[in-house]
Amino acid sequence: MPDTHNDSASAGAMRETDYDVVIVGAGLAGLYTLHRLRGLGMTARAYEAGSGVGGTWFWNKYPGARCDVESLEYSYAFSDELQQEWHWPERYGNQPEILEYINHVADRFDLRRDIQLNTRVTAAVFDDDTNTWTVETDQGDTVTARYCIMASGNLSTPRVPDFKGIESFKGKWYHSGLWPAGGVDFTGKRVAVIGTGSSGVQMIPIIARQAKHLHVFQRTANFILPAGNAPMDPKRESTHKADYPARREAAQHTPFGIGGFPPPTQSALDVPEADRNAAYEAKWQEGGSISFLYTYTDLLTNQEANDTAADFVRNKIRGIVKDAETAELLCPNDHPMGTKRLVLDTGYFETYNRDNVTLVNARKTPIEEITPAGLRTADAEYEFDAIVFATGFDAITGAMKEIDLRTTAGLTIQDNWEAGPRTYLGLMVAGFPNMFVITGPGSPSVKANMIVAIEQHTDWIVDCLQHLREKGVSRFEATKQAEDEWVQHVNEVADSTLYPKANSWYVGANIPGKPRVFMPYVGGYERYKAICDDVAAKGYEGCVMTREKTTA
Ligand code: NA7
Q: What is the pLDDT of residue 7?
A: 53
Q: Using one digit for the tens of pLDDT, what is the confidence trace for 50-63? A: 999 999 999 999 99
Task: From residue 37, give the alpha-carbon distance in Å to each of 40, 230, 491.
Answer: 5, 37, 33
pLDDT in tens, 140-149: 999 999 999 9
DSSP for 241-265 reads HHTHHHHHHHHTTSTTS--SSPPP-
Angle (CA) 406-410-416 rounded to 5° is 60
Cα separation, 429 vs 241, whole angstroms: 39
Ligand 1 atom 27, closest CA: 198
Q: At what angle do helices 450-471 and 28-39 cross, to 10 degrees?
A: 30
Residues contacting ligand 1 via CB (< 6 Å)? 155, 161, 176, 194-200, 217, 219-220, 341, 362, 367, 390-392, 505, 510
Is residue 548 predicted with pLDDT exceeding 90?
no
C-alpha 467 to ligand 1 mean position (Å): 41
Q: In which residue ranges of the chain is CATH 3.50.50.60 found?
A: 7-157+395-547
Query: What pLDDT shows up at residue 13?
Result: 57
Distance in Å, CA 522 to ligand 1 centroid? 21
What's the confidence (pLDDT) of residue 15? 78
The DSSP H or E segment spanning 177 is: none
**Helix ranges, 321-432 (H):** 324-330, 348-351, 398-401, 413-416
Which backbone phi and psi does 83 adopt, to 5 degrees?
Answer: -70, -25
Annotate 201-221 with three-state secondary structure: HHHHHHHHHHCCEEEEEECCC
- Average pLDDT score over residue span 481-486: 97
Helix (H) or strand (E) holding 467: helix 450-471
Using the mean position of ligand 1's atoms as its centre, give its distance from the Cα of residue 199 in Å.
8
Return the pLDDT at 497. 95
Of 340, 451, 510, the one to substitute when testing ligand 1's pocket (max ligand atoms within 8 A of C-beta) is: 510
pLDDT at position 551: 42
112 Cα to the center of ligand 1, angstroms: 33
What CATH architecture does domain 7-157+395-547 belong to?
3-Layer(bba) Sandwich (3.50)
Mind listing the pLDDT tens digit for each residue in 253-303? 999 999 888 889 999 999 999 999 999 999 999 999 989 999 999 999 999
**Residue 220's pLDDT band (boundaries 50, 70, 90)?**
very high
Q: What is the pLDDT of residues 525-534, one digit of tens each?
A: 999 999 999 9
Nearest CA to ligand 1 atom 36: 220
How many whole angstroms from 432 Cα to the centroid of ligand 1? 31
The three-state secondary structure class of 2 is coil
pLDDT reported for residue 263: 85
Reported pTM: 0.95
| Whole-angstrom distance, CA of residue 31 vs CA of residue 207 | 33
- For the cut 60, the answer to whether the pLDDT of residue 359 exceeds it is yes
- Give the model's pLDDT for residue 374: 98
CA of residue 449 to ligand 1 center, whole Å? 20
